[in-house]
Each structure stands twice: as C-alpha cells, then as structure tokens.
Amino acid sequence: MRIYQVKDYKEMSRKAANIISAQVIMKPDAVLGLATGSTPIGTYRQLTEWYQKGDLDFSEVRSVNLDEYKGLSADNDQSYAYFMGANLFDHVNIKPENTHIPNGLNEDIEGECKRYDAVISALGGVDLQLLGIGNNGHIGFNEPGEAFQTGTHCVKLTENTIAANARFFASMDDVPKFAYTMGVGNIMQARAILLVASGEAKAEAVYNSFFGPVTPRVPASILQFHQNVYLVADEAALSLCRANHCI
Ligand code: PGA
C-alpha cells in the first residue's frame, strides 16, 4: 500500500485526480470504478477542470459505479446515476453508453446482480477503483457483518442509514430501503484501488482498516490483502495512524 498524506480536502482531491489522470493518460480506454458520496466530489471537480483545460480526454474511458439505490430511477435527484451526471459525466466527454451503474429500477434482484457482474467481466475488469470509506469502515454498501460478500448483491439498508437519508426525501416512505452494490470480491479484483478519506470522522475507520485485523466487521480491512492500493488521506483522517506510529 502506498499512503499519500496530504494537508486537507483540497490537496486530497488534487492528488486523487492526479492518480486517476495518470491512469487515463497511460490507458485511454481504462475502466474506472467510480464512487459517490461527499468525499470524491472535489476529485471529480478537479478532473472536470483538467478536462476543460484540454489536459484530459474521457472519450474512450469506460466506467462502472459501485452502487445504486434500489427503486430510484436515474432522473431521481437522490439516485447515484443522477449524482454521477451532476458531478462528472455531464461535464466531460465520457460517452453515456460507456458508463455503467446498477439499475435501481430492476425488481429482479438476482437478475440485476448477475447482469452487473457480467457487465464488469465484459469490460475486462476494473483498472482503477475509486473508493470512499464509511465511518464504520464500509466500502460501497458493504456494511460491517459476519462475512464478506463476493459479487454484486442487494443489501437492506440499516435503520440508521434510512433515518440519515430521510432528510433528502419528502417522506420516510420515499427513502429507499435497499441498494445494489458491488461486493468486496468485485472490488478486490480491481487492478488498482484508490481510497480517499478526509476529516477526523474517518480517522478510526482508516486506522482500523489499514492497521487493524482483517475482518468483515471492518469491510475495508480486506484491502490489506490487495497488492496495489493507494490511500490518499488528509492529516485529520490519518491522525490515529500517526498517533499509533503506523506512519
Ligand atoms: P462520504 O461517504 O464520502 O459521504 O463520507 C463515504 C462512504 O460512505 O463510502
């Protein structure tokens, strides 16, 4: 694992965008695994800026996103498909047909999971997977549990997550109760992994994931078994690693 210790969110975003750019420049038709959440927004903004300056070309890039809420259409402004449009896809020259996200409207759970695994395989696997990390060490919607899940699967959202999301919806009933997510196995098959983390709230998850025991109770800890992980984190997110003399 290579750790890039940066000052703050802005530097994290720039460094992460540098790594993604390097991938796209070295392999113009790279398969990027993409993530949603607040952490990657600055990275996408930086990539957009470099694209607009003419330094980056996404015309051959393919992408697969980690996850999507079940029951939300791509035009619902809470869906991850909408997020990707608003934060990256609508601003760069990636071809819509080259972007892939689980289909939240597919009611056939088994069919959708198989379809998405087949999409990833047909692309030849992921070259670089971008990941955020949850405060509890989750990656994608792989929450702490008793076992690691391998392939794409449908997860029941915890009461906590549903309650936290409620503020974005008209009523509690509108909040999705399930989500499709790549499994930890899909993530581990990526040829390289770029995990971004910013802020004190992530310090424990980062420490436990990279310097604690490998356990499904901390899903990101499995990344310790991956050969090619880049961790880009700011001082606050790395504070516990530093306090424990791990870095
Ligand atoms: P965040 O979420 O970037 O909004 O903190 C990360 C995650 O939960 O994976």
Mean pLDDT for 14-32 is: 98
Across 127-145, average pLDDT: 96
Task: Indicate the pLDDT class of residue 163, thresholds 50, 70 and 90.
Answer: confident
What is the per-residue pLDDT for 172?
Answer: 83
Q: Distances in Å between the alpha carbon of 185 and those of 117, 153, 188, 227? A: 11, 11, 5, 14
For the segment 50-98, what is each residue's pLDDT rounded down to a tens digit?
999 999 999 999 999 999 999 999 999 999 999 999 999 999 999 999 9
Is 209 a pocket residue for ligand 1 (Cβ < 6 Å)? Answer: no
Contact 35, 130 (CB under 8 A): yes
pLDDT of residue 232: 98
pLDDT tens figures, 221-230: 999 999 999 9
pLDDT of residue 234: 98
Residue 164 has pLDDT above 80, yes or no: no
Structural domains of the chain, ranges and CATH numbers in brackets: 2-193+208-228 (3.40.50.1360)
Ligand 1 within 6 A of CB of 37: yes
> How much of the chain is helix, strand and coil, in % rounded to 5?
40, 20, 40
What is the average per-residue pLDDT within 176-199? 98
- Report whether 76 contacts 82 (CB < 8 A): yes
Residue 39, ligand 1, Cβ within 6 A:
yes
Distance 196 CA to ligand 1 centre (A): 9
Is the pLDDT score of 219 beyond 80? yes
pLDDT at 160 over 90: no
pTM recorded for the entire structure: 0.97
How many angstroms is it from 115 CA to the middle of ligand 1? 25
